[in-house]
Amino acid sequence: MLKGIAASSGIAIGKAYVIREEENAINRYEVKDTEKEIKRFLEAILKAKEEIESIKETAVKNFGEEKALIFEAHLMILEDEEFKASVIEKIKQNINAEYAVKETVEMFEGIFLSMEDEYMRERAADIRDIGGRIIRALKGEEKSSIGDIKDKCIIVAKDLTPSDTAQLNREYVLGFITELGGKTSHSAIIARALEIPAVSGIKGATEILKTGDLIILDGVKGIIYINPDESLIDEYQNKIQREMEEKRELLIYKDRKVLTKDGKRIEVAANISSKEEVDVALKYGADGIGLFRTEFLFMNRETAPTEEEQFEVYKYVLEKMEGRPVIIRTLDVGGDKKIPYIDVGTEMNPFLGLRAIRLCFERLDLFKTQLKALLRASIYGNLKIMFPMISKVDEIKRAKEILEDVKAELKKAGQKFSDKIEIGIMIEVPSAAIISDLLAKEVDFFSIGTNDLIQYTLAVDRMNEKVSNIYEPSHPAVLRLIKMVIDNAHKEGKWVGMCGEMASDISMIPLLIDYGIDELSMSAPSVLKVKKEILKSVD
């Protein structure tokens, strides 16, 4: 058994298909007819261009313009004057085209790898990718790509590149195992959007696993078994069977409104981290988006997303949800998540440090850009804005002031925005729960973030195995705080949602309903299960 990170839930059993980046030996030989060799090189460039154009098209269709940008960069490199000139120069010295390309690629790769900037080092990978493609075209080889897979399998790779995932055929790909990447890597997001179980962060997976190995991939626990024994396979096969049956049975709840036995409406919503996940949320009958974590838009890149870029994403989500509520949380990052253009320095305790709203107050440029994009998108649906990690009244007042400043700026510029946007805060710091009577006067709603609230209340890091047994969602201190928050909000006529893991914990739901919770938000695949649980007491 190997343990990694649970990147996308679900179970898969199947044969491994290992994608190794093998360096085929490229030999140098002398060519006599250099003109003919140059022609061969230029033809290979054309072929590579056609290939990239077609991958780009598929990518645009499956994932939208934005994800296809990388291929735009690849095309530019293929057309690069200096690149071509350097290869042709070498061919003129009687070197064969393959070797000339290899040497030129290595030269540029060297330049980029020696640069300090991570953006530049990533470009080195693009050049290598392009070089490989030209050389394959020269040799008349077809790349063994994910697109060519014709049998059901579990893909094992170092990491999946956008050009891999763009060609992926959902019918054959049962799961992903990657060496790199966490929950927010490109491949993890794609996996969740396509509902393919995935485990990432398994070091050495492409070395340890062989194509044809039988694998059980458990995307819920983040573990894989290699060539497991019959009994384990049976156990998991039963699990898959049960899950499939359950899924089918649950679909009857998809379009049902959830009312408690007292006739109170409970909204069951989905948490998402990218616009790609909206379709999954809708498929499972989510009544809304209870939490859109926007930090993913800011990760894995060199500069912050522009106002326009963010606007497009928020607009897309709001339009797709067709008037259902969409709670978008403003940037929630801090010292534990490294973002190159947001440097908070080294902190002893990043979880108690400059993070979330505290960081946004320090980086008003980022904060205001996000608020502008949100306001502009608000006319396309039912937007609610939520601020994370509020711990005192002053903070929500300040956040609202900044929001008003941005509104004034937009008004001045003649830009439209909705005047019905609800404003809420996360309740995840014990101090916020304790003064929730005061905070309730400042906002339209609360959303209780149980993961952090439990951690901060019980002073326990749930990732720390030595103390994780003390992490106890049903600790009376936690339950008292939750009840207090709901009571205080209702006294002011405000509503309360919950977006932590507790929201989908079947054993806790009766209690939460009893406390008077108004909304529950969770990962999309749990929505139906929770709807069923609540309706069970009524049906």
Partner 1 sequence: MIERKVIIKNPTGLHARPASLLVKEANKFKSEIMINKGGKDVNAKSILSVLSLGVSNGDEIIIKANGEDEKEAMDAIINLIETFVE
Please indicate if the annotation marks 428 as binding a ligand: yes
343 binds partner 1 (CB under 8 A): no
R_g of the chain computed on alpha carbons:
26
419 binds partner 1 (CB under 8 A): no
Q: Which is nearer to partner 1, 115 or 352 (CB)?
A: 115
Quick one: which of 1, 46, 115, 352 contacts partner 1 (CB under 8 A)?
115
Task: Please report, to the nearest 10 degrees, the dihedral formed by the alpha carbons of residues 235, 240, 242, 244 taken in order.
Answer: -170
The answer to whether residues 361 and 398 touch, using CB atoms and an 8 Å cutoff, is: yes
Q: Which is nearer to partner 1, 80 or 487 (CB)?
A: 80
Residue 360 catalytic? no
351 binds partner 1 (CB under 8 A): no
Please indicate if the annotation marks 452 as binding a ligand: yes
Q: Which is nearer to partner 1, 234 or 302 (CB)?
A: 302
CA distance 314 to 292: 9
CA distance 458 to 398: 29
Please indicate if the annotation marks 293 as binding a ligand: yes
DSSP character for 328? E
Quick one: which of 23, 81, 394, 419 contacts partner 1 (CB under 8 A)?
81
Quick one: which of 111, 244, 352, 364 contacts partner 1 (CB under 8 A)?
111
Q: Which is nearer to partner 1, 306 or 537 (CB)?
A: 306
- Give how many residues touch partner 1 by CB under 8 A: 20
Q: What is the DSSP string of 112-174?
A: HHTSS-HHHHHHHHHHHHHHHHHHHHHHTPPP--GGG--S-EEEEES---HHHHTT--TTTEE
Please indicate if the annotation marks 394 as binding a ligand: no
Q: Per-residue string for binding with partner 1, 119-148, x by CB under 8 A? A: xx--x---x---------------------
Quick one: which of 12, 13, 44, 77 contacts partner 1 (CB under 8 A)?
77
Quick one: which of 82, 171, 230, 419 contacts partner 1 (CB under 8 A)?
82
Q: Are strands 214-218 and 11-19 parallel, antiparallel or unpaired?
A: antiparallel
Applying the rule CB under 8 A, the residues between 57 and 76 that interact with partner 1 are 72-73, 76
Edge-to-edge strand order for the sheet containing 2-3? 2-3, 223-226, 214-218, 11-19, 153-157, 173-178, 198-200, 5-8
171 binds partner 1 (CB under 8 A): no
Residue 153 catalytic? no
Dihedral over Cα of 65, 71, 75, 77: its sign: positive
Applying the rule CB under 8 A, the residues between 213 and 252 that interact with partner 1 are none
Which residue out of 186, 360, 475, 490 is catalytically annotated? Answer: 186
CA distance 102 to 135: 8
| Phi–psi pair at 498, nearest 5 degrees | -140, 130
Quick one: which of 22, 27, 262, 303 contacts partner 1 (CB under 8 A)?
303
298 binds partner 1 (CB under 8 A): no
Q: Which is nearer to partner 1, 243 or 307 (CB)?
A: 307
CA distance 530 to 522: 9
The answer to whether residues 527 and 268 touch, using CB atoms and an 8 Å cutoff, is: yes
Distance separating the N- and C-terminal Cα atoms of the chain: 42
Q: Which is nearer to partner 1, 115 or 538 (CB)?
A: 115
Q: Per-residue string for binding with partner 1, 444-463, x by CB under 8 A? A: --------------------
367 binds partner 1 (CB under 8 A): no
Instruction: Please report which helix (H) or strand (E) contains residue 404, including its range.
Output: helix 393-412
Q: How far is CA 406 from CA 70, 127, 326, 379, 386, in A?
A: 32, 42, 20, 16, 16
Please indicate if the annotation marks 256 as binding a ligand: no
CA distance 219 to 92: 54
80 binds partner 1 (CB under 8 A): yes
Rounded to a whole number of angstroms, the minimum distance from the CB of residue 11 to partner 1 is: 40
17 binds partner 1 (CB under 8 A): no
Binding site for partner 1 (CB under 8 A): 72-73, 76-77, 80-83, 108, 111-112, 115, 117, 119-120, 123, 127, 302-303, 306
Q: Which residues are annotated as a binding site?
A: 293, 329, 428, 451-452, 462
Q: Which residues are annotated as a binding site for Mg(2+)?
A: 428, 452
Catalytic residues: 186, 499
